[in-house]
Structure 1
Amino acid sequence: MTETALTDRWVSVARACAQINQAAERVLAEHHGLCASAFEIMDVMMRADGWIRAGELSSRVSRSQPQVSRLLAQMIDAGYVERRPCSTDRRGFDAQLTPAGRELFARSSATMESVLRDMTESSEDVRNVMGASART
């Protein structure tokens, strides 16, 4: 490796992530009324396949605990997430997606797949980071 190979790779990753996040924020908001952070939280909740402790959720996403708490409150108010007191820790709560939340996540996931396919076509940085090749 050259002296700058790792730095060059990091810059490429940072650039690709910024491009993806900008597109995700715009498209998710326009089409589904979601931000990328809410989408990420919903993704973790779908993979949990049931109830998940709010604290555990915070540790699995790339957002701070206060951000996760704020977004969970918004998603609960919107009817996408339900909560119940945690049986092992009275200070915490468990959460899971409601049927409406699962439906929204399914629709928004399809949108994100389309966005990511388009981005791998148009951006070499994204293509490299995603390990994809351009369609010819």
Structure 2
Amino acid sequence: MKNLVSTFFLIFLASCSQAEKATIPQEKMVDILYDLTVSSSARNTARMKDTVQYTVSYQELLKKHGVDSATFVKSQEIYRKDPDTYAVIYDSVQKRIQKKLDEVRATEPEKEKEKLKPVINVKDLKALSRNKQ
């Protein structure tokens, strides 16, 4: 009987000492948090009058990744308990956002050049000014 009680006690202690493991892998968590961050930013800019108002709900994003909200919250809590892992996840999200931002900024000057093209070229302008004199 003592052996049986001590065996259950040891099994209980072993199960308590094991750290919980998140059901969502780190890379997938990075993908989800990236999408949620972009969606949140879109909501904030959608309030501006000159923007297209296209936002996606958080539930739709989680559904896109095949995760329900309870699983997401539980995994996030587990990652929060390990600050080093949590920092790696958010650093990855931040790097991905910065990379996308750099890509967008790299294409903007080309668009600006197109907008700033003169309607009338210089030769036509000189010809118009000569005709007025």
TM-score clears 0.5: no
- TM-score, scaled to structure 1: 0.30
Bigger strand fraction: 1
- TM-score, scaled to structure 2: 0.30
Rg (Cα) greater in structure: 2
